[in-house]
């Protein structure tokens, strides 16, 4: 459900967004069509740190934001530029994306 909300929010703000139900399909899509930024929530089918490591090997400069629960830690060591907590603050997420991509923030 949250994946759909975040997806629709980015589309509403004028960004192209793609969401995936598992890490393998996301990684396959990234290899075919590299995005400008990756936002990672839960990652069924692959450890999140392993996914980030694989992303860094495939696309070393791509910005990565991870949305984590309160008991999760250690993700900046895995190569993420930013870690945001849950519950997700959509404005804060958009501000982070805008800042990382150096684009003006749309006003939904």
Model pLDDT for residues 30-80, shown as the tens digit of each residue = 888 888 888 887 766 667 777 778 888 888 888 888 887 655 555 555 566
SS3 97: helix
What are the phi and psi torsion angles at 83 (to 5°)?
-125, 125
CA angle 98, 33, 29 (to 5 degrees): 100
- Which residue matches tokens 């936002």? 39
Give the bridge partners for 66, in sequence order.
Answer: 40, 83
Cα–Cα distance between 89 and 86 in angstroms, integer? 8
pTM above 0.85, yes or no: no
Which homologous superfamily does the CATH classification assign to the domain defined by 2-101? Response regulator (3.40.50.2300)
Domains in the chain: boundaries: 2-101
């Amino acid at each position: 459900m949250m994946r759909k909300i975040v997806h629709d929010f980015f589309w509403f703000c004028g960004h192209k967004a793609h969401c995936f139900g598992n890490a393998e399909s996301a990684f396959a899509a990234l290899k075919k069509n590299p995005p400008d930024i990756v936002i990672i929530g839960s990652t069924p089918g692959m450890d999140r740190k392993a996914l980030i490591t694989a992303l860094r090997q495939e696309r070393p400069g791509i910005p990565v934001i991870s949305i984590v629960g309160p008991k999760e830690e250690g993700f900046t060591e895995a190569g993420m530029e930013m870690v945001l907590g849950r519950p997700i603050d959509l404005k804060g997420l958009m501000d982070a994306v805008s800042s990382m991509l150096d684009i003006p923030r749309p006003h939904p």
